[in-house]
Structure 1
Amino acid sequence: MQKPTRIAPSILAADFSQLGKEIQRLDQAGADLIHVDIMDGHFVPNISFGPAITKSVRSVTKKPFDVHLMISPVDLYIEAFVEAGADIITIHPEAGPHFHRTIQLIKSLGVKAGLALNPGTPIEIVDHVIEDLDLLLVMSVNPGFGGQSFIPGALDKISALRQKIDTTGKDIDLEVDGGINFETAPKAIAAGADLLVAGTATFKGGPDHYAANILKMKGQ
């Protein structure tokens, strides 16, 4: 069953010279979660930051940290991000040899586990692990850079995963990341998404607009 829409602003689009303040502004503007994109320059063609910076800003908000690990090999760093304050850790099935084991590792450390599907990753890959998941993330762009355009084919994938989640009867978030803005957010929601990652659209217009931008993407 689809839940009310929540917004997880991606701090990748924030002003890094004042990252702590930016996260506080997002909190006050009504962000439901804080999306933390971790990129290694290997699994994806960009580098962001690691557990030390994640830990340094953990204390500025009580909102959940939604940590998306675009790194390979991923298993080596999961414990460090849990210790840094992650509440949810999402991994890619291509980022290690045994992604079911990786999911078990995440769960054993007391945080929620998510699985991210790239545009070229088939949805059937979730069939034998879905019962262990707390979140499914549909990438509506190829990961690695902010500001990309939404891939329309992602809508069919969102709809199909919505059906799979509803069949399980489990409380699994269906998240979408990539090209989410005022035009694409309603389409993703209509397809079945209940958690939207938005970077550029959230920060559009500066801090005075964060709250209005979040509400607009929620359709309010």
Structure 2
Amino acid sequence: MMYLTPSLMCADWCNIGAVVAELEQSGVDGFHVDIMDGVFVDNFALGMQDIMALKQLTQKPLDIHLMLQNPQKYIAQFAEAGADIIYVHPESSHYIIRTLQQIRTFGVKSGIAINPETTVSEIVDYLEYADLVMVMTVTPGFSGGTYLDFTERKVAQLTKHKAELGLTLEIFVDGALSEERVQRLHDFGASGFVLGTSALFGKSESYLEIITRMKANG
């Protein structure tokens, strides 16, 4: 199965209600929300009020990507705002295992986000505390980043570790994902994909046409 979740950082926020409704009707599986503090990454994006507003617009799961320094300080607030999945970066906290455990105490799925510069070997010991791992194929912080081909190897490596360790975690990918890249990464073992301008937004086809085709190919 292929889990497709649009990155709402790429959406038209002047018309977000209509965009969310159209995406829901197209068959997306959830919505991806990037939270940036201008410290962990050099940009600001979205916030608590945006999550609360989205929770009123959709019943689909919200996966929240925290690009924040010391995210453990804010887990309770994001969980209460309506997060269904929370991703954190291992570099963002000295207590990443405790943070992953904390996420789960709220009944929220815990996720590890891996920067391009982070190797799989650096996070293997954390995998048993995560429900998902998300491989970043671009440098995080801005939409429209350059796709880094070498990151594809991480998906294959994670698939191998998942099998060897007997883990149930899901492998997701985020960053400049065209339809062709989604298909290739799915073959490597990824099951979830964050879609932005490379595959979904700003295209001549409708969301329904794109999502239907991608799921049929998956």
For residue 182 of structure 2, give the secondary structure of its aligned residue in structure 1. helix
- 1:132 matched to 2:129? The reply is yes
- In 2, Cα distance between equivalents of 1:178 and 1:216: 20
For residue 35 of structure 2, give the secondary structure of its aligned residue in structure 1. strand
- Listed one character per residue, the Cα deviations across residues 120-169 of structure 1 (whole Å, up to 9, x for unaligned) are 10111222221121000000001011112321101111100011112233
**1:204 aligned residue:** 202
| Contact map agreement 2:40 2:92 (CA 8 A) in 1 | yes
For residue 97 of structure 1, give the secondary structure of its aligned residue in structure 2. coil
- In 2, Cα distance between equivalents of 1:203 and 1:166: 34
**1:40 aligned residue:** 37
| Contact map agreement 2:27 2:211 (CA 8 A) in 1 | yes
- 1:100 matched to 2:97? The reply is yes
For residue 211 of structure 2, give the secondary structure of its aligned residue in structure 1. helix
What one-letter code is carried by the residue in structure 2 that aligns with 1:212?
E
% identical equivalent positions: 37
Cα distance, 1:215 vs. partner?
2.8
Number of residue pairs the alignment of both structures matches: 216
| Contact map agreement 2:5 2:28 (CA 8 A) in 1 | yes
- Mind listing any 5+ residue stretches in structure 1 that lack a counterpart? none
- Mind listing any 5+ residue stretches in structure 2 that lack a counterpart? none
TM norm structure 2: 0.94
**1:152 aligned residue:** 149
**2:117 aligned residue:** 120
Out of 2, 5, 8, the residue aligned to residue 2 of structure 2 is 5
- In 1, Cα distance between equivalents of 2:40 and 2:214: 30
Cα distance, 1:197 vs. partner?
0.5
Out of 50, 65, 69, the residue aligned to residue 68 of structure 1 is 65
Out of 108, 111, 114, the residue aligned to residue 111 of structure 1 is 108
**1:180 aligned residue:** 177
TM norm structure 1: 0.93
- In 2, Cα distance between equivalents of 1:59 and 1:164: 38
| Contact map agreement 2:26 2:212 (CA 8 A) in 1 | no
**2:21 aligned residue:** 24
| Contact map agreement 1:150 1:184 (CA 8 A) in 2 | no
